[in-house]
Amino acid sequence: MFSVQVDSGPFLHYLRAVQYSFWESRWSSGQIGFHLDRPNPALLAHWADVADSGGSVLVPLCGKSHDLQWLAERGHTVRGVEFVRSAAEEYFEERGLEPHITTAGDVSRFDAARLEFYVADFFALTPASVTPSDFIYDRAALVAIEPSRRRQYIEQLHALSRRGARLLLVNFVHDIGSGPPHSIEVAELEEHCHGVFELTLRDERDILADEPRFAQRGATHMVEQVWLGSRIGD
Ligand SMILES: C[S@@+](CC[C@H](N)C(=O)[O-])C[C@H]1O[C@@H](n2cnc3c(N)ncnc32)[C@H](O)[C@@H]1O
């Protein structure tokens, strides 16, 4: 993927198309090394510090993650967002679920039990299309998007969450030199969240030994950081 600074009008359109085609080809060719066959360990370890059971959780750029089911089983209403339709279809097929599907414009919504799975471009959503949530869970989402859109992404999290919403964000810092996952240094993360989310670093550890695919790409470290946050403002 490449990086551009201009993010409006025809460029935005072009950027969206390039990003969609990048991710669609990852899904269609089965290059989904980011997908875990179990709930994410950081979620299991830290979610209790974010939420009790109940309330709604926004899961941007959710893929077909087992985290969706884990959160729903804790009693949350889960709102996953993913723009590759086959990822949504696989999620439900693998569980033998037949979701109720509705479509409005460019947004399709797959509903089953406590899960609302939106097949849509995350940046195109509004509080009118997705009810703002009480919690946000970001794993491999901020680090997956085009770097020039990070602030816009954080503002979308703000727009799609409720006053006082709590956040669990899993970030990566590495030295591969390209992404995704893109490396985001602490100073940059804090700058993007300034005035929007208040962040605290809860945990960090080098996961390179557990994730050989990153060493194969040239990484000498792959630090996974777990940030907890609170939404600022109304
Ligand atoms: C690195 S994967 C992470 C998936 C999931 N969070 C997980 O932990 O398995 C990023 C996902 O975001 C999706 N994606 C990328 N840009 C998106 C966008 N603008 N709107 C919705 N989904 C997007 C991709 O198709 C991909 O499935």
Tokens of 80: 């996953």
Q: Is 140 in the pocket of ligand 1 (CB under 6 A)?
A: yes
pLDDT digits (tens, 9 = 90+) for 185-220: 999 999 999 999 999 999 999 999 998 999 999 999
Output the residue whose Cα is nearest ligand 1's atom 3. 140
CB-ligand 1 contact for 88 (6 Å cutoff):
no
**65 touches ligand 1 (CB under 6 Å):** yes
What is residue 4's predicted lDDT score, i.e. its pLDDT? 41
SS3 per residue for the chain = CCCCCCCCHHHHHHHHHHHHHHHHHHHHCCCCCCCCCCCCHHHHHHHHHCCCCCCEEEECCCCCCHHHHHHHHCCCEEEEEECCHHHHHHHHHHCCCCCEEEEECCEEEEEECCEEEEECCHHHCCCCCCCCEEEEEEECCHHHCCHHHHHHHHHHHHHCEEEEEEEEEEEEEECCCCCCCCCCCHHHHHHHHCCCEEEEEEEEEECHHHCHHHHHCCCCCEEEEEEEEEECCC
pLDDT tens-digit profile, the chain (234 residues): 333 444 567 888 888 899 999 999 999 999 999 999 999 999 999 999 999 989 999 999 999 999 999 999 999 999 999 999 999 999 999 999 999 999 999 999 999 999 999 999 999 999 999 999 999 999 999 999 999 999 999 999 999 999 999 999 999 999 998 889 999 999 999 999 999 999 999 999 999 999 899 999 999 999 999 999 999 999
Residue nearest (by alpha carbon) to ligand 1 atom 6? 62
Q: What is the pLDDT of residue 15?
A: 84
Could you tell me the pTM of the whole model? 0.95
The answer, yes or no, to whether any atom of ligand 1 lies below 6 A from the CB of 80, is: no
Supply φ then ψ for residue 202, to 5 degrees. Answer: -95, -35
**Ligand 1 close to Cβ of residue 146 (< 6 A):** no
Q: What domains does the chain contain, in order, with CATH numbers?
A: 33-231 (3.40.50.150)
> Does the beta carbon of 117 lie inside 6 Å of ligand 1?
no
Q: Is 161 exposed, middle or buried (0-12, 13-18, 19+ CB in 10 A)?
A: buried
| 23 Cβ closer than 6 Å to some ligand 1 atom | yes
d(CA 135, CA 212): 32
Ligand 1 atom at minimum distance from 143 CA:
1
Distance CA 122, CA 124 (A): 5
The whole-number pLDDT of residue 3 equals 39
Query: Considering only CA atoms, which residue is closest to atom 26 of ligand 1?
Result: 63
Distance 81 CA to ligand 1 centre (A): 8
The interaxial angle of helices 150-159 and 186-193, nearest 10 deg, is: 40
Q: Is 149 in the pocket of ligand 1 (CB under 6 A)?
A: no
CA–centroid distance, residue 33 to ligand 1 (Å): 12
Q: Does 68 sit in the ligand 1 pocket, CB within 6 Å?
A: no
- CB-ligand 1 contact for 58 (6 Å cutoff): no
The residues near 29 (Cβ < 8 Å, ≥ 6 apart) are: none
Indicate if ligand 1 lies below 6 Å from the C-beta of 224.
Answer: no
Expressed in angstroms and rounded, the spacing between residue 61 Cα and the centre of ligand 1 is 4
